[in-house]
């Protein structure tokens, strides 16, 4: 009975159109050109490496999709248990109509077939339609011109990691100068340049500012004198500056971004908890891990100070999810946002989403985002989420709390679809 109920709820959830509130889509090249683009997603290269392919083998093959695909396939026998592998299978069946598993005997034929499907002029529209997508958020570098695409379908989002954590690199400052039209020489001109970025993004339909943060980061306001000294040091010495100055600049810029979010009325997406480059010999994008010993108490000053800024928050580890639930239940400006990266697997999604659905106001939960680089991944990732959401609604609401199916579906629709639009202001 429970399984049939889950299926019914899934069907209803699956009929809903929605916006994907966080992706890494390149609006000028949103879809894959061939299977190599799909299997080049870091989940497949890093898992294949973890299972035994060397980084060298993968990098050597990465230049040519017809070399990369067969060497990855060699490792499918070690990976087909993973949920990430299931995304690939569901892309094959859901978007290409291919029910067979890819293997060494059929890959070339399937490569060719899918390449031709991917080349169809309306492929991208097909993907949007089959995925029930209305629009997707982008992750734009701060110096992105935001030109040449439909900003109603591809919604700009200002990504700010470089400004906060890599201002010591000369190229960051020169990119900032160029993008803002300012000449950054001190704290004042830095402020001005950042404001210019917000003006540019806001004028081009940006709906959010976003950043990923390491577990040790603790935002706080830096007094102007201290900030000036630190900014001067960074501009002069770059990454040779004292670590104390670098840390002060990070905090200063972060706080400035929050001020701009306040002024320009943009939600500030915080993605909390990643350590970059932990595995130094890993494949591209497969080097980052984390220390799960992080607490949202580190953000208390931020949440208290910026009462009018919405902070949709993603946490990297499931052990931080209860804090996220509690902080979202107490702070009006803290919202739950998706299931990020290492927590984007069914066991953790189910535990974390269930806890949110029963304790956080329903208008403050952004259920899911795909985090995808290529449009083809929206379908399987959101389907995974919708199946879990249907399971939770079936078991925890319809069965345990005797909700009607109609009410359960309405709750599902709100976290899957409505809140993305209300929070980011459509």
Q: Does 326 bind a copy of itself (CB under 8 A)?
A: yes
- Closer Cβ to a copy of itself, 7 or 64, answer by number: 7
Identify which of residues 249 and 390 has a Cβ nearer to a copy of itself in the complex.
390
Of 264 and 329, nearer to a copy of itself (C-beta) is 329
Using the structure block, give the residue that is written with the tokens 């993004």. Answer: 201
78 sits near a copy of itself (criterion: CB under 8 A): yes
Residues 272-301 that bind a copy of itself (CB under 8 A): 275, 278-282, 286-287, 289-293, 295-297, 300
Residue nearer to a copy of itself on the CB measure, 52 or 170: 52
Tell me: does residue 318 bind a copy of itself (CB under 8 A). Answer: yes
Choosing from 35, 157, 184, 411, the residue that interacts with a copy of itself (CB under 8 A) is 411
A 10 A CB-CB count for 123 gives: 18
Spacing of C-alpha 305 from chain mean position: 25
The least CB distance from residue 244 to a copy of itself, in Å, is 22
Q: Phi-psi region for residue 22, left (φ > 0), alpha (ψ -120 to 50) or beta?
A: beta
Of the pair 237, 293, the CB lying nearest a copy of itself is at: 293
Of 188 and 363, nearer to a copy of itself (C-beta) is: 363
**Position among 3, 105, 243, 406 found at the interface with a copy of itself (CB under 8 A):** 3
Least distance in angstroms from the C-beta of 96 to a copy of itself? 18
Applying CB under 8 A, the span of 15-23, 109-117, 247-255, 317-325 interacting with a copy of itself comes to 317-325
Rounded Cα–Cα distance for residues 54 and 115 (Å):
27
Q: State whether residue 116 is helix, strand or coil.
A: helix
When asked if residue 98 is in the footprint of a copy of itself (CB under 8 A), the reply is no
CB-based contact 348:339 (threshold 8 Å): yes
Minimum CB separation of residue 158 from a copy of itself in Å reads 26
Q: Total residues contacting a copy of itself (rule CB under 8 A)?
A: 76
- Comparing CB distances to a copy of itself, the nearer of 175 and 396 is 396
Measure the CA dihedral 174/176/178/182, to 10°.
Answer: -110
198 binds a copy of itself (CB under 8 A): no
Residue in 327, 340, 369, 373 binding a copy of itself, rule: CB under 8 A: 327
Q: Restricting to residues 37-76, which ones interact with a copy of itself according to CB under 8 A? A: 46-47, 49-52, 75
Nearest to 120 by CA among 18, 32, 51: 32
Element housing 20 (H / E): strand 18-20
Q: Which helix (H) or strand (E) holds 84?
A: helix 83-96
CA distances to 31, 283, 296, 412 from 59, in Å: 22, 8, 38, 42
- Minimum CB separation of residue 116 from a copy of itself in Å reads 28
Q: Is 162 an interacting residue with respect to a copy of itself (CB under 8 A)?
A: no
Looking at the Cβ atoms of 150 and 358, the one nearer to a copy of itself is 358
> Residues 359, 404, 425, 426: which binds a copy of itself (CB under 8 A)?
359
Tell me if 101 contacts a copy of itself by CB under 8 A.
no
| Contacts (CB under 8 A) with a copy of itself, residues 375-404 | 387, 391, 396-397, 399-401
**DSSP conformation letters of 208-253:** EEEEEE-TT-------HHHHHHHHHHHHHHGGGS-HHHHHHHHHHH
Rounded Cα–Cα distance for residues 260 and 265 (Å): 8
Q: Which residue has the tokens 């980011």?
A: 424
User: Taking Cα atoms as reference points, which of 372, 378, 367, 315 lies closest to residue 343?
Assistant: 315
For residues 197 and 315, which CB has a smaller minimum distance to a copy of itself in the complex? 315
364 near a copy of itself (CB under 8 A): yes
Residue from 314, 320, 370, 420 binding a copy of itself (CB under 8 A): 320
The interface region with a copy of itself, picked from 77-85, 105-113, 217-225, 258-266 by CB under 8 A, is 77-85
Name the residue among 109, 79, 81, 83 with its Cα closest to residue 96: 109
- CA dist 104 and 80 (Å) reads 15
79 binds a copy of itself (CB under 8 A): yes
263 binding a copy of itself? (CB under 8 A): no
Q: Give dist(CA 286, CA 43) in Å, integer.
A: 8
Which residues, numbered 328-357, are part of the site for a copy of itself (CB under 8 A)?
A: 328-332, 342-343, 345-348, 351, 354-355, 357
First to last CA, the chain: 39
Closest to a copy of itself by CB, 31 vs 45, is: 45
Beta-carbon contacts of residue 257 (< 8 Å; ≥ 6 apart): 160, 163, 164, 194, 209, 211, 268
């Amino acid at each position: 009975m429970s399984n049939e109920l889950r299926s019914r709820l899934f069907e209803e959830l699956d009929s809903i159109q929605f916006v994907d509130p966080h992706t890494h889509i390149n609006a000028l090249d949103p879809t894959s050109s061939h299977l190599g683009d799909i299997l080049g997603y870091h989940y497949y290269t890093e898992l294949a490496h973890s299972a035994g392919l060397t980084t060298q083998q993968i990098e050597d093959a990465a230049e040519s999709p017809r070399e990369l695909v067969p060497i990855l396939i060699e490792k499918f026998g070690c990976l087909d248990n993973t949920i990430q592998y299931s995304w690939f299978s569901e892309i094959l069946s859901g978007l290409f109509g291919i029910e067979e598993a890819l293997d060494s005997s059929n890959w070339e034929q399937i490569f060719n077939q899918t390449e031709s499907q991917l080349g169809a002029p309306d492929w991208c529209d097909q993907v949007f339609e089959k995925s029930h997508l209305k629009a997707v958020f982008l992750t734009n570098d701060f110096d992105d011109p935001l030109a040449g695409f439909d900003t109603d379908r591809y919604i700009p989002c200002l990504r700010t990691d470089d400004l906060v954590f890599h201002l010591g690199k000369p190229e960051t400052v020169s990119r900032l100068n160029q993008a803002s039209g300012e000449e950054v020489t001190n704290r004042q001109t830095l402020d001005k340049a950042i404001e210019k970025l917000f003006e540019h993004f806001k004028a081009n339909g940006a709906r959010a500012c976003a950043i990923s943060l390491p577990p040790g980061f603790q935002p706080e306001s830096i007094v102007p004198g201290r900030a000036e000294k630190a900014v001067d040091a960074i501009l002069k010495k770059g990454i040779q500056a004292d670590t104390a100055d670098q840390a002060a600049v990070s905090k200063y810029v972060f706080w400035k971004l929050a001020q701009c979010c306040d002024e320009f009325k943009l939600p500030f997406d915080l993605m909390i908890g990643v350590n970059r480059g932990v595995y130094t010999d890993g494949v591209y994008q497969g080097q980052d891990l984390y220390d799960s010993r992080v607490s949202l108490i580190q953000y208390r000053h931020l949440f208290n100070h910026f009462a009018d800024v919405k902070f949709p928050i993603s946490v990297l580890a499931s052990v931080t999810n209860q804090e996220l639930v509690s902080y979202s239940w107490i702070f009006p400006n803290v919202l739950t946002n998706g299931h990020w990266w290492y927590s984007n697997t069914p066991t953790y999604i189910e535990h974390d989403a269930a806890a949110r659905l029963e304790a956080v106001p329903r208008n403050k939960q952004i259920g899911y985002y795909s985090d995808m680089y290529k449009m083809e991944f929206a379908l399987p990732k959101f389907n995974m989420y919708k199946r879990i959401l249907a399971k939770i609604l079936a078991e925890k609401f319809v069965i345990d709390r005797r909700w009607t199916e109609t009410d359960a579906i309405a709750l599902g629709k709100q976290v899957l679809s409505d809140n993305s639009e209300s929070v980011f202001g459509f």
